[in-house]
Amino acid sequence: MLKSMTGFGRNEVETEFGDLLWELRSVNHRYLEINVRIPEELRALEPHVRAQVGKKLSRGKVEATLKLRANRDSVSGLVLDTDALSTLAKAIEQVHTAIPQSTGVDPLQVIQWPGVMSSNNKQQDEMTRQAMTCLEAAIDDLVATREREGEKTAEMLRTRCEKIDSHINELRQHRPAVVARQREKLVAKLSELDIDHNEHRLEQELVFVAQRLDIDEELDRLKAHVSEFNKAVSRSGPIGRRLDFLMQEFNREANTIGSKAADLDTTGASVDIKVLIEQMREQVQNIE
């Protein structure tokens, strides 16, 4: 199933420690980039969060934020690390000695300093487990959002592909008339000059003109790209880079058709195809 790289996931649970809230936002990115924002008391979770997100996502810039609204009961389980407090106090005293005019220290800020307050191991382990369980649900919500967005994008891409395929069929039907008009123009110019001409030489020139205007090979490749694109969209797993490469191939063939155009109809069809390709390319940039 095609997945978008844009999405939002959220999950909140009530625990004995307070309310845990995970919010995950993702946007398009060339690779997988994960930014984690979590409370200091759960900082050790960061590598596990990255690993958990990496199991479900392969591309995108993801911002994972954990908010903890602690309840009063959880505060009673906090333990003051006297060694860390003593070290911090000595550092503060050195600052006062070096800078006598410095202001006093707010005890609340001291308590919030990393390592000064900690919870007991059992509480920490349980909070960690519940935070990771909550994260798993938030990731699933994000993946579901990306899948829904991907379904809409896939439908739009298929519609654009159908239009390109329609232009290809019209150009094929139109080619004999283009060559015939070129023959008529060449014969008309010779008639205006009122000179005898070699019919064999005229036929050779017409063959050269037909070869210069021949776009059958480009149409065949473009048709093959349309088929491959439709197959890729139906595949599971990350396909964004593959589709991006196909868009480059689409554009190359459309440019060649435009350069060989010798009539307004072919030029117009070439422009229409390039517009459709550009619309698809913009959407493909957001596919995982």
Return the closest-CA partner of residue 7 out of 53, 49, 48, 68.
53
Residue 278 has pLDDT above 90, yes or no: yes
Domain of residue 89: give its range: 78-111
**CA-to-CA dists, residue 262 to 141, 184, 267, angstroms:** 53, 14, 7
3-state secondary structure 2-38: CCECCEEEEEEEEECCEEEEEEEEEECCCCEEEEEEC
List the single range of 40-44, 105-109, 165-169 with lowest mean pLDDT.
Answer: 105-109
pLDDT(76) > 60: no
54 located within any domain: yes
Sheet strands (E) in 103-200:
117-119
Count structural domains, the chain: 3
Q: Which residue has the higher pLDDT, 151 or 83?
A: 151
* % residues pLDDT > 90 (the chain): 44
Q: Of the residues 90, 111, 132, which one is the last residue of a structural domain?
A: 111
Name every residue whose Cβ is closer than 8 Å to that of residue 59 and which is 6 or more positions away in sequence.
Answer: 5, 28, 29, 30, 31, 32, 238, 240, 288
Specify whether 187 is located in the same domain as 279.
Answer: yes
Which of these, 213, 269, 223, lies nearest to 246 by C-alpha position?
223
Are 247 and 142 in a shared domain? no
Per residue in 47-58, pLDDT (tens digit) is 999 999 999 999
For the ranges 30-39, 97-106, 118-127, 222-231, which has the lowest average pLDDT? 118-127
Pairing outcome for strands 18-27 and 32-37: unpaired
Q: Are residues 35 and 59 in the same domain?
A: yes
Q: Are residues 19 and 144 in the same domain?
A: yes
92 plus 13 within the same structural domain = no
* 23 part of a folded domain: yes
Strand order in the sheet with 32-37: 7-15, 18-27, 60-70, 32-37
Confirm whether 92 is domain-assigned.
yes
- Look at residue 224 in the predicted model and tell me its pLDDT: 93
State whether 141 and 12 are in the same domain. yes
DSSP string, 243-276: HHHHHHHHHHHHHHHHHH--SHHHHHHHHHHHHH
Last residue of a domain, one of 52, 86, 111: 111
pLDDT of 131 above 70: yes
**Residue at 48 is within a domain:** yes
Q: What pLDDT score was predicted for residue 205? A: 63
* pLDDT score of 89: 79
Q: What is the rounded CA–CA span in Å between residue 31 and residue 60?
A: 6
Paired strand residues for 19: 14, 69
Are residues 69 and 83 located together in one domain of the fold? no
Same domain, 52 and 176: no
* pLDDT over 90 at 136, yes or no: yes
What is the reported pLDDT for 32?
A: 94
Assess whether 60 and 107 both reside in one domain. no
Residue 24 to residue 34: CA distance in whole angstroms: 10
Q: Residues 142, 210: one domain?
A: no
134 in the same domain as 52: yes
| Confidence category of residue 168, pLDDT binned at 50, 70, 90 | very high
Contact 249, 221 (CB under 8 A): yes
Q: What are the Cα distances from residue 180, in Å, to 30, 73, 75, 205?
A: 49, 89, 88, 13
What is the domain-level CATH number for residue 54? Answer: 3.30.230
Q: What is the pLDDT of residues 247-259, one digit of tens each?
A: 999 999 999 888 8
Residue 75 has pLDDT above 60, yes or no: no
Q: What type of residue is 248?
A: Q
How far apart are the C-alpha atoms of 136 and 154, rounded to whole Å? 26
Supply φ then ψ for residue 20, to 5 degrees.
Answer: -105, 130
Instruction: Say if residue 259 is in the same domain as residue 248.
Output: yes
Summarize pLDDT for 190-207 with one digit per residue, the tens.
666 665 656 666 666 666
Dihedral class, residue 139 (left if φ above 0, else alpha if ψ from -120 to 50, else beta): alpha
Does residue 173 lie within any of the structural domains?
A: yes
Q: Are strands 60-70 and 32-37 parallel, antiparallel or unpaired?
A: parallel
Q: Residue 220 above 60 pLDDT?
A: yes
- Would 191 be classed as within a structural domain? yes
Asked whether the predicted pLDDT for residue 235 surpasses 90, the reply is no
Q: Does 2 map to a domain?
A: no
Q: What is the pLDDT of residues 175-191, one digit of tens each?
A: 777 767 766 666 666 66
Q: What is the pLDDT of residues 98-113, one digit of tens each?
A: 777 767 677 666 656 6
Give the DSSP H or E segment for 184: helix 121-193
In a domain, 242, yes or no: yes
Tell me the whole-structure pTM to 2 decimals: 0.69
